[in-house]
Amino acid sequence: MASTAGVAQDLRQAAKDKKKDVGQMSQWQLMARRFMQNKLSVLGLLILLGLYVLAAFSGFLAPYQFNELDSNNVFTSPTGISFAGGRPSVCGQSQVLNEELLEYEYVEDCSKRYPIQFFVRGFEYKLLGLFPTNWHLFGVSQAGAPVDEATGKPQEIKLFLFGADNQGRDMLAQILQGARVSLTVGLIGVGIATILGSVLGTASGYFGGFIDNVMQRTIELISSIPQIPLWAALAAALPREMSVVRRYILITVVLSLVAWTGLARQVRGKVMGYRSLDYANATRAAGGSHTRIILTHMLPNAVSHIVVVAALAIPGAILAETALSFLGLGMLRPAVSWGVLLRDAQSVQVVMDYPWLMIPAVLVIITLTCYQFLGDGLRDAVDPYS
């Protein structure tokens, strides 16, 4: 009933802006319109776009390098920012000698404030991976910093928006860097799976017979091994020692090796449906080749469904990367992904003491929820009757 209402709504919407008649709108325009009407999906899409932009500009947004260790700031909690005097500023730290342990300890000292500055120079990086620069969105003015008694150099006053981890690395920088991996591994993995699934599914559904039979048995076999253990076994089969980039590529391959089966099944079903339709027969009768029939008739018709199925598969793949990295089988340090970061938050004690280590988990949840909204909206837009 909701769907008929949805269709009626389209008609009304179209009738309202008299510029275009629904009858004249292309199928894609209709889908786009239906999609835009689903507020949650649009919201999901916007949030996701925002996250991707943040990831793309990670170097600019992060005040420190993501792998910069700092033994003075182990497990530092998120820095408090005060707006005293109308300008955002942070407190400094003063060094006190612990008489019992005979070590220097750092305590917050708000007697002197260090203003936060915007558009400052910092470490070198490549903007969008292309343009070398050292501009950053923000940093802390170091003017008047006290001298560290142990090293004799001025203390560095740091701003940890999301706190620091067990090695004093800035969580914000790590999260931004991790987003680059976490937001893309699943996407690319599903991309590869989609190509694989579309080609194999189309072949299977179109030719039927022996090819179809072999394909179906293969898919059945793969889906007879539970996904997460299979993913884990595949990932474990990767050599431990290799470059970050290679590992990244191989993990996407691992993800796609399992994910293609579902896509192939869906595409096969669609293609089998189309095969029996008249226009395919007509093309064949007119002497059209297989490739021609597949490329001109079946794929265009199946594309919208492939997109939907792919979109619905993305959250699973992202979650899989996070889980594998969390288990120490996916991405490994020095690479950073949200799953890798969460590895540090495996025990209750750590979570209770340093809750900011869970920020990556919040981002995982937001990302997955948005992808779900997006996938749902796409499905409803493509197929309002289901």
Partner 1 sequence: MADPVANTGSTATTPDGGVDNLIQVENLEVRFYTQVGVVRALNGVDFNIPRGQVLGVVGESGSGKSITGLSIMQLVPRPGRVEGGRILYKDKPDSKTINILDLGRQSDEMRAIRGDDIGMIFQEPMTSLNPVFKVGAQIQEAILLHQTPNKQEAWDRAVDILDKVGMPNARRVANSYPHELSGGMRQRAMIAMALSCSPNLLIADEPTTALDVTTEAQILSLMRDLQSEIGTSIMFITHNMGVVAQMCDEVAVMYLGRIVERATVDDIFYDPKHPYTISLLRSIPRLGQKRGQRLEVIKGGVPDPYSTVTGCPFHPRCPSFMPGLCDTVLPIEAFIEGKTNHTVRCHLYPGCTPDSDQAVTGVSGTIPTTSKAQ
Partner 2 sequence: MVNFIARRLIAMVITLLFISIIAFFLIELPPGSALDAELLRLRSRGGNLSLSQVRELEERFGVHDPWQEKYFKWVGGLFRGDFGYSFRYSREVGPLIAGRLGFSLLLAGTSLLFAWLVSIPLGVYSATHRNTIPDYIITTIQFVGVAVPEFLLALVLMVFAARFLGADVGGLFSRQYEAAPWSWGKVWDLMKHLWLPVIVVSAGSTAWLTRVMRANLLDVLNAQYVQTARAKGLKENAVVWKHAVRNALHPLIMTLGGVLPALIGGEVIASIVLNLPTAGPLFIEALRNQDMYLAITFLMFTSVLLVIGNLLADLLLAWVDPRVRLE
Helices (H), the chain: 2-16, 27-37, 39-56, 58-61, 171-207, 209-222, 227-236, 244-275, 278-285, 290-293, 299-326, 338-342, 348-353, 359-382
271's tokens: 């293609």
Which of residues 33 and 343 has its CB atom nearest to partner 1 in the complex?
A: 33
**Residues in CB range of 290: below 8 A, 6 or more apart:** 206, 207
Each residue 294-323 as x (binds partner 2 by CB under 8 A) or -, in order, gives ---------------------x---x--xx
Asked if 126 touches partner 1 (CB under 8 A), the answer is no
162's tokens: 């999301």
Question: Which of these segments, 26-34, 100-108, 229-237, 267-275, binds partner 2 (CB under 8 A)?
Answer: 229-237
Q: Which does 237 bind (CB under 5 to 8 A by kind): partner 1, partner 2, none?
A: partner 2
Each residue 327-346 as x (binds partner 2 by CB under 8 A) or -, in order, gives xxx------------x--xx
For partner 2, the binding residue among 90, 179, 190, 234 (CB under 8 A) is: 234
Question: Which of these segments, 1-9, 64-72, 298-306, 319-327, binds partner 1 (CB under 8 A)?
Answer: 1-9
Q: Which of 135, 78, 145, 87 is nearest to 115 (CA)?
A: 87
For partner 1, the binding residue among 3, 12, 20, 217 (CB under 8 A) is: 12
Between helices 359-382 and 299-326, what is the axis angle to 10°? 170
Task: Compute the least distance from the CB of residue 348 to partner 2, in Å.
Answer: 5
Asked if 162 touches partner 2 (CB under 8 A), the answer is no
3-state secondary structure of 83: coil
The C-alpha atoms of residue 272 and residue 253 are separated, in whole angstroms, by 28
Q: Which of residues 203-232 bind partner 1 (CB under 8 A)?
A: none
Q: Which of residues 22-81 bind partner 1 (CB under 8 A)?
A: 37
Asked if 245 touches partner 1 (CB under 8 A), the answer is no
Are 338 and 58 a contacting pair, CB within 8 Å? no
For partner 2, the binding residue among 232, 271, 302, 310 (CB under 8 A) is: 232
Query: Can you tell me which residue has the tokens 């590895």?
Result: 343
The C-alpha atoms of residue 1 and residue 52 are separated, in whole angstroms, by 36
62's tokens: 């992060």
Q: Which of 93, 174, 140 is nearest to 356 (CA)?
A: 174
Asked if 1 touches partner 2 (CB under 8 A), the answer is yes
Q: Which of residues 271-300 bind partner 1 (CB under 8 A)?
A: none
For partner 1, the binding residue among 5, 74, 147, 282 (CB under 8 A) is: 5
Which of residues 294 and 331 has its CB atom nearest to partner 2 in the complex?
A: 331
Task: Compute the least distance from the CB of residue 74 to partner 2, in Å.
Answer: 21
Most distant CA pair in the chain, distance: 94
The C-alpha atoms of residue 51 and residue 372 are separated, in whole angstroms, by 15
- Positions in the binding site for partner 1 (CB under 8 A): 1, 5, 8-9, 11-13, 15, 37
- Positions in the binding site for partner 2 (CB under 8 A): 1-2, 220-221, 224-230, 232-234, 236-239, 315, 319, 322-323, 326-329, 342, 345-348, 351-352, 358, 361, 364-365, 368-369, 372-373
